[in-house]
Amino acid sequence: MKYFILAGEASGDLHGSNLVKEIKKLDPNAVFTGWGGDLLKNQGVKILKHIRELAFMGFVEVLQNIRTIKKNFKICKKQIADFNPDVVIYVDYPGFNLRMAKWVKNNNYKSLYFISPNVWAWKASRVYKIRDYTDRMYTILPFEKEFYATHGIEVDYFGHPLVDAVTNFEKSSFTEFIQKNNLPDKPIIALMAGSRKQEIKHMLPIMTELSESFQDYQFIITGAPAIDADFYQQFIKNKPVKLISGKTYEILSHSTAGLITSGTATLEAALFNLPQVVCYKGGAVSVAIARLVANVKYISLVNLILDKPAVTELIQKDLNLTVLKEELITILPNGKKHKRIKENYISLYNQLEQPGVYKRIAESMLERVKMNE
């Protein structure tokens, strides 16, 4: 069968590539094309537009790039029509994918949506667009199935795919890791400053400045796949910080603590049992608008799933050097929050499904595609 996949961000590239890997096992003759990154490309997907061209974030940033975004819709429609797929698979990226879904439906292509937009956080009315314009939604958070049910919509939840990604990760020894990357023999503090330049510009200067106050640790930035190394150098300069790209899980698995940007990365850190401070700072206008329309108590997946402040969240003006330093001290070994965070992680694990998530989703997707052949 022919599959057109639409992933517009680094996390979508990761999850999409793992899904494609499982689909190929079930459908050896599968042909994939679409939008994504290097991970999808490595799985044999013909990439027509790379994620590095698509990372627009926030209300203001989207408005500034509105012409490019409108052009992308036109390009995508033509690419789908030319390819004529058996199914279109959306992976997250709701700002674009939900708008494409209407056109896809009106042109009689079957479509499946993997990773639900955060409709519970923003416009709940968007659930009806999902109902009307997609053939099935596959959610990855345990509370989402119940949320959709309150709106009379049935969706599938087979677990969070990060459980698979972390479970299948083969960890090296700490000695091997530091030798391979030419690092000193010091405990590591991981810096995950986001996957978009706008996020990195706002947060990384504070994170790297903090490194000078913790000489017994080494600070390592987990470089985002779509961001060139040269971009990071302006924030490192002469600070005791190192950038390592393409090895996020290795860094997390060997770290003692992490300063983590809100979103998927917070759950990744938790699955590696890494105590963390959740950070977020963005453009003032975009964040102000977001606070007006958002319907959530927390910004990290850890706290959202547990429905309590299990890890500290520092947002906007609270994310400053003084407060961040105080919070980092509390999550280091012997810090007052270190043990409690790890206890909360146990409760988190108990709410997630067992490994095999991508396989279960792939099996369900193929069954649905074949239903009306």
Cβ atoms 280, 315 nearer than 8 A:
yes
Cβ atoms 17, 43 nearer than 8 A:
yes
167-196 per-position pLDDT tens digit? 889 999 999 999 999 999 999 999 999 888
pLDDT in tens, the chain (373 residues): 999 999 988 889 989 999 999 999 999 999 999 999 999 999 999 999 998 877 544 444 555 556 777 888 999 999 999 999 999 999 998 889 999 999 999 999 999 999 998 877 666 678 888 999 999 999 999 889 988 998 889 999 999 988 988 988 999 999 999 999 999 999 999 999 988 888 899 999 999 999 999 999 999 999 987 789 999 999 998 899 999 998 999 999 999 999 999 888 999 999 999 999 999 987 654 554 444 445 568 889 999 999 999 999 999 889 999 999 999 999 999 999 999 999 999 999 988 888 999 999 999 999 999 876 5
Both tokens of 82, joined, read 């030319």
CATH of domain 2-160+355-371: 3.40.50.2000
Cβ atoms 265, 257 nearer than 8 A:
no
What is each CA distance from 6 to 23, 48, 111, 245, in whole angstroms?
Answer: 15, 10, 11, 24
Helix, strand, coil percentages for the chain (3-state, nearest 5): 50, 15, 30
CB atoms within 10 A of CB 342: 14
Q: CA–CA separation, 89 vs 6, rounded Å? A: 6
Q: CA–CA separation, 321 vs 341, rounded Å? A: 22
Q: CA–CA separation, 45 vs 43, rounded Å? A: 6
How many Cα neighbours within 13 Å face the side chain of 62? 8
Cβ atoms 208, 240 nearer than 8 A:
no
Q: Over 277-294, what HEC string results?
A: EEEECCCHHHHHHHHHHC
Domain(s) labelled CATH 3.40.50.2000 in the chain stretch across 2-160+355-371, 169-351
Q: What are the contacts of 229-238 at 24+ separation with CB within 8 A? A: 231/197, 231/200, 232/200, 232/204, 235/200, 235/204, 235/205, 235/208, 236/208
Secondary structure of residue 244 in the 3-state scheme: strand
346-372 per-position pLDDT tens digit? 999 988 888 999 999 999 999 999 876
Superfamily for 169-351?
Answer: Glycogen Phosphorylase B; (3.40.50.2000)
Q: Which helix (H) or strand (E) holds 147?
A: helix 144-150
